[in-house]
Structure 1
Amino acid sequence: MSTLENATAVLKLFSRQGVNQGHPGLSFSDVVNNLALPKSTVSRLLMTMESEGLLERDPDSRLYRIGKLLLAISSHYLSTPLVDATTPYMTQLSQLTQCTGYVSMLEGREIMIMRMFPGRTYLQVVTPAGSLLPAHETAIGRAILARYSDDEVRERYRGEYQVKSANSPKSIDLLLVRLAEIRQNGLSFANNETLQGISSLATSIFNKHRNEIVGLGLSFSSPAEGKGIPEGIKDGLTAVTRKIAEKLGDDDWINHQRLSGLQ
């Protein structure tokens, strides 16, 4: 293998061994034994990675930890606002599915549209950035609300619970039923709620490093009676959400998808 491939293998070993903040690190022998490389190769490799800032070695234990360069890069990536981090993915997804895409955040009982990505073929749904919509009456809003406990949702809606759409949950109890379903399958669906003739499919992403939650959604013409969601929309949104979740360590989504795959 090349030096780059060997260095990559070392970094993957950190992940496999669960070496994170607070872990003492990997020893020279750990690398030799796990990667089955000659000691001379490992010695040169670790020395180079240390000098380049990819690794650092504890002067007392002589164990290797992730270096400051990688930590600085990962910190910069993880500190990027989640809305900005999801934008390139949603731009591409909107183009591929030809649906109107949205990235939204929760503001009290409403969602604020943070980004809109115009579709092409499906009926254009234009809800510009900055718009506020009732969270409980939208697919994205319910996808985000599902990240909270039932008690937290009840507290958020303490007082009067109003619904304008005939197709939205009529009470807080019915809303909690919908949220339980979303927690089970990871997807939130709205059919003819905000606008007649328009349906939406949504997911949510949690960045634990910044304690941020955003909703990702696609809007499209409502399927005819008896028809399902147009091909590619569900798979596309699921794939994008999974990819972002894996990058950000969104354990809820990743674990859910693993369980779904066993069913």
Structure 2
Amino acid sequence: MTTLENAAAVLKLFSTQEIRQGHPGLSFSDVVENLKLPKSTVSRLLMTMETQGLLERDLDSRLYRIGKLLLAVSSHYLSAPLVDSVSPYMTQLSQLTQCTGYVSMLEGRDIMVMRMFPGRTYLQVVTPAGSLLPAHETAIGRAILARFSDEDVVQRFNGEYQVNSFNSPGSLGLLLARLAEVRQTGLSFANNETLQGISSLATSIFNKHRNETAGLCLSFPSPEQGKNIPEGIKEGLIAVTRQIAEKLGDEYWQ
């Protein structure tokens, strides 16, 4: 493989090894073992990637993390006027409700997490910014899809509808029925879909001046059977969404 291909393979290890923010990092041995390359080749490769800002190495542990160059590029990619404008509201809402908050945007049939706002409620698994998830299997994705017509949604999936979660709409027809409910209330709910034990409540917001749509979401431990969504989550999310909608002139929430 070329040097570029080897560098890409190293970066992919951060995903396959689930090395996220807060993880100590990737070791020299990890790269050698997974890429099946000579130690001398790996040494030169990692040194070059570190020099170019693709990687950073901790002086004490000698482990590698994603470098400032990639982080700077990704932060620009994950930035949009609408995302930036709603982020302060979501930061405050996450703190008030103790839920983990998200802002996402639609990418084809997926949603991309643009921002994550850690809440004080302990969640064993979080979804970091940059993650892609099937839109139809998430509350936030369905909140955004509900802004489109049924014809647009059918065309978007183009006969390639699949689900991974038993709790997600099992067919395109069931998805359209769920979107109709979201359009009536403005709220989208997911229970034990992307992650078992985790529920999410989401809304969407539209900036007509830039033709941007984003989803706002709060995630929290799933309520016990027979219990409702914890108090304050629904009310807080609706209040924040309406406040943003008023500033943007989003008539959907007026």
Same fold by TM (over 0.5)?
A: yes
TM-score by length of 1: 0.66
Distance of 1:121 and 1:201 partners within structure 2: 15
- Identity across the alignment (%): 81
Asked whether the equivalents of residues 121 and 220 of structure 2 are also in contact (C-alpha less than 8 Å), the reply is no
Q: Which residue of 1 aligns with 2:101?
A: 101
Post-superposition Cα deviations, 1:26-45, rounded to whole Å, max 9, x if no partner, equal xxxxxxxxxxxxxxxxxxxx
Q: Which residue of 2 aligns with 1:229?
A: 229
Unaligned ranges ≥5, structure 1: 1-79, 255-263
Residue 215 (str. 1) matches residue 225 (str. 2): no
Aligned ranges for residues 63-212 of structure 1 at < 5 Å?
A: 81-212=81-212
Unaligned ranges ≥5, structure 2: 1-79
Distance of 2:108 and 2:91 partners within structure 1: 27
Distance of 1:121 and 1:219 partners within structure 2: 10
- The structural deviation recorded for 1:93 is 0.2
* Structure 1 residues 122 and 238: CA distance shift in structure 2, 3 A: farther
Distance of 1:170 and 1:124 partners within structure 2: 27
SS of the equivalent of 2:173 reads helix
- The structural deviation recorded for 1:159 is 2.1
- The structural deviation recorded for 1:125 is 4.1
- The structural deviation recorded for 1:130 is 0.1
Counting matched residue pairs gives 175
TM-score by length of 2: 0.68
- The structural deviation recorded for 1:252 is 1.2
Structure with max Cα Rg: 1
Distance of 2:155 and 2:241 partners within structure 1: 28
* Aligned partner letter, 2:232: G
SS of the equivalent of 2:101 reads strand
Aligned ranges for residues 12-91 of structure 1 at < 5 Å?
A: 81-91=81-91
Distance of 2:252 and 2:178 partners within structure 1: 18
SS of the equivalent of 2:106 reads strand
Post-superposition Cα deviations, 1:219-240, rounded to whole Å, max 9, x if no partner, equal 0000000000000000000000
Distance of 1:124 and 1:202 partners within structure 2: 20
- The structural deviation recorded for 1:121 is 2.2
Distance of 1:182 and 1:250 partners within structure 2: 16
